[in-house]
Structure 1
Amino acid sequence: MTVLRTALDPATPEYAANRAALLDQLAALDAEQARAVAGGGPKYVDRHHDRGKLLVRERIELLLDPGSHFLELGTLAAWGSDYTVGASVVCGIGVVNGVECLINGSDPTVRGGASNPYTLKKTLRANEIALENRLPVIGLTESGGADLPTQKDIFIPGGRMFRDLTRLSAAGIPTIALVFGNSTAGGAYIPGMSDHVVMIKERSKVFLAGPPLVKMATGEDADDEALGGADLHARHSGLADHYAEDEHDAIRIGRQIVGRLNWRKQGAAPRPAPAEPRHDPDELLGLVPTDPKTPFDPREVVARIVDGSDFDEFKPLYGTSLVTGWASLHGYPIGVLANARGVLFSEEAQKAAQFIQLANRADTPLLFLQNTTGYMVGAEYERHGIIKHGAQMINAVSNSTVPHLTVTMGASYGAGNYGMCGRAYGPRFLFTWPNARSAVMGPAQLAGVLSIVARQAAAARGQDYDEAADTQMREYVEAQIEQESAAMFLSGMGYDDGIIDPRDTRTVLGIALSAIHSGPIAGATGYGVFRL
């Protein structure tokens, strides 16, 4: 066995400072996640309960197998915007009647579950995850449709939600709608385009136009129940496949439907009884330096997340700023690419391209552990081909067809974000640690570039340069980029699938790998032209 040793010393002042700083960041993260869990707040939660209804997370808890996991995705969607944190929808992966499913539940305590632009972005990402990983979809629907003041940002792109449902069905991936309340206007097509539909007596209301709009359009007087109640759809329209007496009965039926799917995973099963890491995952909190410019050895991370801390390193003496090698995680084989000193040189790029090809030849998923400032710049490196070597790595990442998982452990700047499989390169899942930063470059570097350009422009015009204004500009730009590159800001924008506690990395990746293996794992047979 090639078991990794550790050089981490928990007794040092540096370790204590790192741990304290990350715990502070985790406390801030917990506070923001609590806001998402609170939904619309006590007033609307109480109102919902007073009507005899369950909250969305209560519905999910009853739907899941007792004691099973639920990996929530996009918890901080809409953070930093004018909308409620969480974007009025709860998405995640959980086990229902023995089957891993993608669950998407409207939160009716937030503006009646109405969809805003962030709701749409989060839902479309959830559908993408379901399609890529072959996960049955269960929708817990109770929504008044689009948030009308923002219809310009929802209506046209929102049609993709319904397209996704039909494509999932066409791909043989079951879609199930449990309708707990309103599913109106465009939302009526959610049950309309689902494979299985459960409606609840005197609760579910599904219609293209509610009573006020029908009155305006046709002059007809009709109440909710007559227009689109569960009884109408179960007895007359045929839209409801199952008629539930109450919410608990609807959840029971939903679980029963999943149990009858005859669902089988197409990926290989994990190796039995995987060994736990030999080093304590809690020590990850003291590993990450408080200064993001300070590198750390990613082998210390690998040693605390892979089975038995067993890691077979590939090309350990070549391209040493990038660590590559083979391991298993919760019994699933993986290839690991992890940044060691931030900068990617030509050797690292070529090493990565070869390693990615080998992983595809072996049908082995890849895990990217990001902490990179990008590819090296300068005349010497340009002369030795950094552009074409970086392009080889990006070509390999782009055309690799084995599943990719990405964790941003620290920095993710410049084209290093691309080469290490950032969001634009389609990783099956992307998670960040709370200390993570991502931008085109670091705040100080970006402000410095703008300063140099401004100085050159002033000199070209024959003008004196305003040093005081330059100082003010640099401070403003650095503050702006620092804010916009922070983990919570990026998560709020939907650029990851969630911020995770570093200590949970192994568990989160294990759930993700299990979900990935719901579908087949097959490596690429061809790539674009490599400029050699």
Structure 2
Amino acid sequence: MSTENRTTMLERLAELEAEHDKALAGGGPKYVDRHRARGKLAARERVELLLDQDSPFLELSPLAAWGSDYPVGASLVTGIGVIEGTECVITANDPTVRGGASNPWTLKKALRANEIALTNRLPLVNLVESGGADLPSQKEIFIPGGALFRDLTRLSAAGIPTVAVVFGNSTAGGAYVPGMSDHVIMVKERSKVFLGGPPLVKMATGEESDDESLGGADMHARVSGLADYFAPDEPGALRTARRVVARLNWRKQGPAPAAGYDPPRYDEDELLDIVPADLRTPFDPRDVIARVVDGSEFDEFKPLYGPSLATGWARVHGYPVGILANAQGVLFSAESQKAAQFIQLANQRDIPLLFLHNTTGYMVGREYEQGGIIKHGAMMINAVSNSRVPHISVLMGASYGAGHYGMCGRAYDPRFLFAWPSAKSAVMGPTQLAGVLTIVARQSAAARGLPFDEEAAAGLRAMVEQQIESESLPMFLSGRLYDDGVIDPRDTRTVLGVCLSAVHSAPVEGARGGFGVFRM
């Protein structure tokens, strides 16, 4: 195990924690203090009271909006937690950030949470306190924002319960969140749910009105019927929400995990030592697998064929998984064909797939092109694309080029995708990309009979390398919701356990044929 690797990983984890702290800070001390002075709970305090005591909460997309003009976290908390023994997707507006108003990243984050609820058949609980759209960015929110309400109706139509707990404002378009939820809880003298507030009503109709008669909790509980439950205060609303979930009588449709299983035989803390600071240095993913799977038992499939991709069977927290893990970075024809066969086997057996990324992509060069690398890589991507068992991806190191696709990157709809702080993802490595641009520019100059400015090219190459390097880092990608979060490697087994439990809320069924044409 490497001290240098550990030092580098700990440094990256410290940087990650500093960015997470920005999300935890909400709108800053001024607005947090104002919120508390009104007798209100913070967003994460609401979540904590909602969850079963001492149960885990897997927060999703905590770095949303990182690197943008909007606050880290995008004024919304989302995640998976257990309420009265039932796993649920939970969203909570953070009203200390611009009154909980939604910006473009808030919308993307909320839509991702809805997608997770629908795909995995998880009840959805929305803890609502939002002033609606952040109006200066309405052009980026209004049209795609309608999908939020569409999702609520589709969840309900699919028999997946939706619960709205309204703690404050839920106005304009936001009024449709309780309006389209199956179960609605409002708080006395706090909830304000209306399509148009008193000023808008005055402007539109000339009518004089007040918040309470127009959209207060008491009115909705007694007159309009929008409120199903009337709570005296915030803790009471959260207790009611817990009882609502308890009465759902929710049952998982996937198979249960094995009744008993052993923890890994190797210390999870050693996961900090494995990934090299320089991702060009290979590492053995079996060292990761041994510290993640039950009993460190991994039954490898075709270990001597296509050795730069390890494939095999294991269990995580009692759930069976098929694992594909990049061993030496590059994917050759043999690895691609092995992966396609393995994915088909997992689908025949209805076993979820876990992809552990550390790949520079598919091999290039005359020998490999003539050997059919394109059609063999296409075979692997075809198998991943048409596989129907749940997929979970973890980016440990590099995830470049079409290798990112073949290993089930974001565009291939894994149920969950997480990254380690050591991960990088881009069309290719920064040095290679900048070098390609230089070669193309030199050839272009020669074709036109012009001199090539080596000094200017060197400056451009350095600038491009720096840009691609910064844009391939996990915080940049996580800020754009290209993953569901950057996690501490030591938490990988726990995160996978939560995710596997969540995917088994829905039936786990593989594709029987239907893989399209494999080009042989």
TM-score range for the pair, normalised by the shorter chain length? over 0.9
Of residues 435, 439, 445, the one that matches 1:458 is 445
State yes or no: 1:479 paired with 2:466: yes
The aligned residue for residue 100 of structure 1 is 87
State yes or no: 1:529 paired with 2:517: yes
Of residues 374, 377, 380, the one that matches 1:387 is 374
Of residues 389, 403, 414, the one that matches 1:427 is 414
State yes or no: 1:361 paired with 2:348: yes
The aligned residue for residue 148 of structure 2 is 161
Query: Where do residues 56-71 of structure 1 align in structure 2 (5 Å cutoff)?
Result: 56-71=43-58
The aligned residue for residue 182 of structure 1 is 169
Of residues 431, 436, 439, the one that matches 1:449 is 436
The aligned residue for residue 72 of structure 2 is 85
The aligned residue for residue 330 of structure 1 is 317
| 2:141 alignment partner, SS class | helix
Q: Deviations over 1:472-518 (max 9, x none)?
A: 10010000000000000000010000000001000000000001111
Q: Deviations over 1:23-77 (max 9, x none)?
A: 0000010111011011101111110000000001000000000010100000000
State yes or no: 1:240 paired with 2:227: yes
Distance 2:68 2:454 in 1: 34
Deviation at 1:379, TM superposition (A): 1.1
Distance 2:291 2:446 in 1: 54
The CA RMSD over aligned residues, in Å, is 0.5
Distance 1:109 1:59 in 2: 13
Of stretches 349-358 and 275-284 in structure 1, the one that deviates more from structure 2 is 275-284
The aligned residue for residue 337 of structure 2 is 350
Match of 1:229, as an amino acid?
G
Query: Where do residues 18-417 of structure 1 align in structure 2 (5 Å cutoff)?
Result: 18-417=5-404
Match of 1:529, as an amino acid?
V
Distance 2:279 2:327 in 1: 13
Deviation at 1:218, TM superposition (A): 1.1
The aligned residue for residue 4 of structure 1 is none
Gaps of 5+ in 1: 1-9
Distance 1:515 1:269 in 2: 11
Match of 2:421, as an amino acid?
P
Distance 1:322 1:281 in 2: 22
Match of 2:263, as an amino acid?
E
Deviation at 1:458, TM superposition (A): 0.6
**TM-score, normalised by the number of residues in structure 1:** 0.97
Distance 2:457 2:213 in 1: 67
Deviation at 1:153, TM superposition (A): 0.4
Deviation at 1:214, TM superposition (A): 1.1
Match of 2:491, as an amino acid?
D
Distance 1:107 1:180 in 2: 11
The aligned residue for residue 499 of structure 2 is 512
Distance 1:211 1:462 in 2: 71
Deviation at 1:273, TM superposition (A): 2.2
Distance 2:212 2:146 in 1: 26
Distance 1:231 1:280 in 2: 55
Query: How much identity, in percent, do the aligned residues show?
Result: 73
Distance 2:213 2:246 in 1: 33
| 2:96 alignment partner, SS class | coil
Q: Deviations over 1:389-431 (max 9, x none)?
A: 0010000000000000000000000000000000000000000
Distance 2:48 2:490 in 1: 24
Deviation at 1:274, TM superposition (A): 1.3
| 1:415 alignment partner, SS class | helix
Of stretches 359-368 and 377-386 in structure 1, the one that deviates more from structure 2 is 377-386
Deviation at 1:380, TM superposition (A): 1.0
Distance 1:528 1:158 in 2: 34
Distance 2:169 2:54 in 1: 30
Deviation at 1:20, TM superposition (A): 0.4
Distance 1:364 1:508 in 2: 18
Of stretches 266-275 and 51-60 in structure 1, the one that deviates more from structure 2 is 266-275
Deviation at 1:137, TM superposition (A): 0.3
Match of 2:122, as an amino acid?
L
Gaps of 5+ in 2: none
Q: Deviations over 1:327-372 (max 9, x none)?
A: 0000000000000011000000000000000000000000000000
